[in-house]
């Protein structure tokens, strides 16, 4: 697999990473731990070097899983994790980026990941109570101490990104980006391009919808986040099939799958964008990674642009309350 550099940071990762959240969080039923350890080793065999986790996934057990799986390959991989929440009685109870909490979170993450240094440390969500300059300054200190290599932000706005970057260079912004979630094209992507910051795109397959295996008849189990998302109501799934039909048309032309076209589209937007699709299935891992070898032409990208512009996506990506507080 090809590699990409996240902006001007010098941090080089596989063109497609692996989001590990769903292995223990948000997408029930969860698979066996041993199977996920095998999956991550297979990902490395396929050229994946970039793995994404967070303390709040579980909480904690996702980092423990990633740490156990990647310890034998530590010098070959880049591990990204996140801080920024209060966790009480095993549940996330709100944002907290107080410097003391950041330091505490990092110590916990280092222990669970079985590593001496975190390659990329994100603030998971902006904490309105703590100036972003204080957050960036705390991470800067952690970098000086050798506990962290690179600083990242997740779902931050343009002004926040600029303020943080002025204190400690931001290597990457992680936010949701796909053919059906494109609001960051207006202000965020131009801002990070100007500043030389990489973009890590989570949910490039729209939480699985753009892979083409979810329809209006799909039943989501208890604990599956999609059960409560406006974009995944039965009515929305029926309406949003139009976008799937578009992907399927291009997939047929390129002898590919809709998922591969969706990921290839993200890859084609900028050379410093790295999608991190998540999966718990080996055949999906192989399918997703196959997108790295698909280069959409300018005319194909324009066709997709023109056609998708006529499609109105039904349903917001999160509920209003989740937009304010979620750790996803």
Tell whether the model's pLDDT for residue 327 goes beyond 80.
Answer: no
In tens, the pLDDT along 243-256 reads 999 999 999 999 99
Residue 247 located in a structural domain: no
Residue 4, pLDDT above cutoff 90: yes
What is the percent of the chain where pLDDT is above 90?
A: 96
In 3D space, the residue among 206, 307, 216 whose CA is nearest the CA of residue 266 turns out to be 206
Q: What is the model's pTM?
A: 0.97
User: What is the average per-residue pLDDT within 270-281?
Assistant: 98
Range(s) of the domain holding residue 23:
3-207+270-294
C-beta separation of 60 from 112 below 8 A: yes
115 occurs within a structural domain: yes
pLDDT average, residue stretch 17-26:
96
Asked whether residue 323 carries a pLDDT value surpassing 90, the answer given is no
Structural domain includes residue 223: no
pLDDT at 328: 42
How many structural domains are present in the chain?
A: 1
Work out the pLDDT band at 325, boundaries 50, 70, 90: low
Q: Is the pLDDT of residue 316 over 70?
A: yes
Proportion of the chain above pLDDT 70, given as a percent:
98
Residue 180 located in a structural domain = yes
Question: How high does pLDDT run on average in the chain?
Answer: 96
Task: Convert the chain into a string of H (helix), E (strand) and C (coil).
Answer: CCEEECECCCCEEECCCEECHHHCCCCCCCCCHHHHHHHHHHHHHCCCCEEECCCCCCCCHHHHHHHHHHHHHHHHCEEEEEECEEEECCEEEEECCCHHHHHHHHHHHHHHCCCCCEEEEEECCCCCCCCHHHHHHHHHHHHHCCCEEEEEEECCCHHHHHHHHHHCCEEEEEEECECCECHHHCCHHHHHHHHCEEEEEECCCCCCHHHCCCCCCCCCCCCCHHHHCHHHCHHHHHHCHHHHHHHHHHHHHCCCCHHHHHHHHHHHHCCCEEECCECCCHHHHHHHHHHHHCCCCHHHHHHHHHHHCCCCCCCCCCCHHHHHHCCC
Domain assignment present for 198: yes
Tens digit of pLDDT for each residue in 153-204?
A: 999 999 999 999 999 999 999 999 999 999 999 999 999 999 999 999 999 9
Inside any domain, residue 214: no
Tens digits of residue pLDDT in 283-304: 999 999 999 999 999 999 999 9
How does residue 22 score in pLDDT terms, banded at 50, 70 and 90?
very high
Does the pLDDT value for residue 326 go beyond 70?
no
In a domain, 141, yes or no: yes
Instruction: Give the model's pLDDT for residue 186.
Output: 97
| CATH for 163 | 3.20.20.100
Nearest to 202 by CA among 185, 181, 223: 181
Q: Which of 25, 27, 57, 60 is catalytic?
A: 57
Q: Is residue 138 part of a domain?
A: yes
Mean pLDDT of 82-105: 96
120-129, 202-211, 238-247, 319-328: the lowest-pLDDT one: 319-328
Told to judge if 57 belongs to the known catalytic residues of this protein, a careful annotator would answer yes
């Amino acid at each position: 697999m090809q590699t990409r550099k996240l902006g001007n940071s010098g941090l080089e990762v596989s063109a497609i990473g692996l989001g590990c959240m769903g292995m223990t969080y948000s997408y029930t039923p969860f698979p066996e731990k041993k199977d996920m350890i095998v999956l991550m080793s297979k990902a490395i065999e396929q050229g994946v070097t970039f793995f994404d986790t967070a303390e709040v996934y579980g909480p904690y057990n996702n980092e423990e899983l990633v740490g156990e799986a990647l310890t034998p390959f530590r010098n070959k991989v880049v591990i990204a994790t996140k801080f920024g929440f209060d966790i009480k009685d095993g549940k996330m109870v709100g944002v907290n980026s107080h410097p003391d909490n950041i330091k505490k979170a990092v110590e916990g993450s280092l222990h669970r990941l079985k590593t001496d240094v975190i390659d990329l440390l994100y603030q998971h969500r902006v904490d309105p109570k703590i100036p972003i300059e204080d957050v960036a300054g705390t991470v800067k200190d952690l970098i000086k101490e050798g506990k962290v290599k690179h600083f990242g932000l997740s779902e931050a706005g343009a002004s926040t990104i600029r303020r943080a970057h002025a204190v400690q260079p931001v290597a990457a912004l992680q936010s949701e980006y796909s053919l059906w979630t494109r609001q960051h094209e207006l202000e965020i992507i131009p801002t990070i391009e100007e500043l030389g910051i990489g973009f890590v795109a989570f949910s490039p397959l729209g939480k699985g919808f753009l892979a083409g295996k979810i329809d209006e008849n799909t039943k989501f189990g208890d604990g599956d986040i999609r059960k409560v998302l406006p974009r995944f109501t039965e009515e929305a799934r029926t309406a949003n099939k139009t976008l799937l039909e578009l992907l399927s048309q291009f997939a047929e032309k390129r002898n590919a799958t809709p998922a591969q076209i969706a990921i290839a589209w993200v890859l084609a937007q900028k050379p410093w964008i790295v999608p991190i699709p998540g999966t718990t299935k080996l055949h999906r891992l192989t399918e997703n990674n196959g997108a790295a070898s698909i280069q959409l032409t300018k005319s194909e990208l324009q066709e997709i642009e023109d056609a998708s512009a006529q499609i109105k996506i039904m349903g917001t990506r999160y509920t209003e309350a989740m937009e304010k507080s979620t750790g996803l």
